[in-house]
Chain A
């Protein structure tokens, strides 16, 4: 995607160090208007730190972050006026009612959308007069996300927006994000859910140890990293990586608990090889599934970790 023409976020050589740990180490990227930009990475990869620098919550040690044409470290308040932020922790004033919390946040901005609009977004029409502390976890989370829209922002930063939501609420949240995008607005999203990233994101940056190790659209990330299909199965006695990779057309083996995943360019030859090996060792293969590679596989291949580790 040609980003430079309608760039709303530009990050250049950003570095942030905590003690001896480089939380963010020389990252650079751009986000175009109307894009949903995903950031994926294991815990501690530096996603939240990077996002918080863009939001003006932290200052970088070096490098620059530009949002809506403004240097975040200089025009911090002007930037905050035009962005919406949802942070990982959904907690808000426990002793205030839903309606009061929304009104409180509305009065912090020059421009704001009507309270009822935010209540609708959070699907809390029945609970507008309930104290925050009496809301369920999912309701609190929905309010926390909806509040990011309170100032009719041009860019919205969502940090794990659907964590703790049931599948139905998660889908509803996706629709909210897609509606926002259709209005020409930009979303920066961090998530643990591959399905969410794959469905929503136009481009994804995969981070590990403070660096961006891959940045592209979900489809291209999959195509360029994993040309093969995945065969996933369980096997009683693990024959060892060596034995599996020496099977015909198998390029890579990954173990995830009891599950074994082999990547292959030819499903028939890999399967017949596996079956032959199993009968030779008089053991059994079980729960065999064959699928196209997903973002999850890309993540696993690039970082060597599952995203939830």
Chain B
């Protein structure tokens, strides 16, 4: 116990004197959150001007108008400003940037819908604006879906104004924060291999080998310290998200801790595996980057993995961060329970077991 706390305290003191480690564990994720959070902040309260081009279906046009007008954001602001007009005029306004989207309702749609058939409305928008991709189109399709449901039930469309879109669910920061959390677990965990390589290279581990210190004590002291750093960093990330951007944690806190610890175990063992396979610190630093960077970009930290090209999907499906991010997002954003994410948990457990087994097989103390 004395030796264990000595290992722990030694790790702690070295850590707080290591500016690079401190930066990557605490400052770096916070910078990401603040930067991306502020850059996309207006997306939460963004309003859009939508033109409705009625080509002879006044009923449907009215439904859509009422539906769009019923979306109220925080501060009693309507998300959409609607304007009914001639298709050509509206398209010209869209091109000038006076409108954000134009919806064309084809002629005869009233009749078709009344007969129980369906038809599509055409939506025009500027796809080069990310805000349109992230906010406008999802909100529009939610409105259209809501109308579809109402019409499907033959309910008068008057009830539409009660059908408000979840104003909270679509903010980018809510999506981003669990990703930053996952990424930080990865950084802290995988980097943990570096001090081990450095101490082995400088024969410090060998020196410790001539004392009664057990290797298991050395490993457990290191592991426990790293887990505490990870939990502290996670708490800081969640706190900053809450205080600065009002990011809510909808799910169960214990489930969240469980996934954070499982994810850290995977990445810490990945760091140990690097220490088992790479002999020198000089060659380990690029290896750590080769492990971290693709995951940071591909595993859905900043963008949804659905927006990735199909040919890298098999790669994405292998990376552990994909599953950590998915599980964290499900808990934090949707409040999903652990039993609904058994795939994530199984894949992560498999990763941890594989990394630890390979580490035990290949690790050399000197």
Contacts and interface: CB of A to CB of B under 8 A. Distances in A.
Interface in B16-67: 17-18
Contacts of A80: 210-212
For the complex of A and B, 10 pairs with smallest distance between CB atoms: A91-B202, A85-B210, A95-B14, A107-B6, A89-B203, A108-B211, A80-B212, A95-B17, A108-B213, A107-B2
A20 B220 CA distance: 36
Interface residues of A, number: 26
Interface of B: 2-3, 5-6, 9-10, 13-14, 17-18, 199, 202-204, 206-214
A154 interface: no
A89 B366 CA distance: 13
A93 B208 CA distance: 11
Given A87-B203, A91-B202, A107-B3, A100 B210 contact: no
A105 B204 CA distance: 12
Nearest to A100: B13
Contacts of B211: 80, 85, 105, 108-109
17 contacts: A80-B212, A83-B210, A87-B207, A88-B203, A89-B206, A89-B207, A91-B203, A92-B204, A92-B207, A94-B202, A95-B13, A96-B14, A104-B10, A108-B208, A108-B212, A110-B212, A131-B17
Given A91-B204, A93-B204, A57 B210 contact: yes
B195 to A, nearest CB: 9
Nearest to A110: B212
Given A105-B211, A131-B17, 18 more contacts: A56-B210, A57-B209, A77-B212, A85-B207, A87-B207, A93-B10, A93-B204, A95-B13, A95-B14, A96-B10, A100-B10, A100-B13, A103-B6, A107-B2, A108-B211, A108-B212, A108-B213, A109-B212
A197 B312 CA distance: 66
B176 to A, nearest CB: 33
Contacts, number: 63
Interface of A, helix, strand, loop or mixed by DSSP: loop
Given A104-B6, A109-B212, A93 B14 contact: yes
Interface string A71-106: 000000100110101011101111110001001110
Contacts of A85: 207, 210-211
A55 interface: yes
Contacts of B209: 57
Contacts of A104: 6, 9-10
Contacts of B14: 93, 95-96
B6 A108 contact: yes
Nearest to A103: B6
Contacts of B5: 107
Contacts of B213: 108
Interface of B, helix, strand, loop or mixed by DSSP: helix
Contacts of A87: 203, 206-207, 210
A81 B10 contact: no
A117 B208 CA distance: 21
B201 to A, nearest CB: 9
Nearest to B3: A108
Contacts of A103: 6
Query: Which of A81, A87, A89, A93 is most buried by chain B, counting CB atoms within 10 A of its CB?
Result: A93
Nearest to A105: B211
A83 B6 CA distance: 20
Interface in A95-143: 95-96, 100, 103-105, 107-110, 131
Contacts of A108: 3, 6, 208, 211-213
A194 B93 CA distance: 95
A133 to B, nearest CB: 10
Contacts of A109: 211-212
A104 to B, nearest CB: 5
A80 B212 CA distance: 5
Interface in A23-67: 55-57
A31 to B, nearest CB: 18
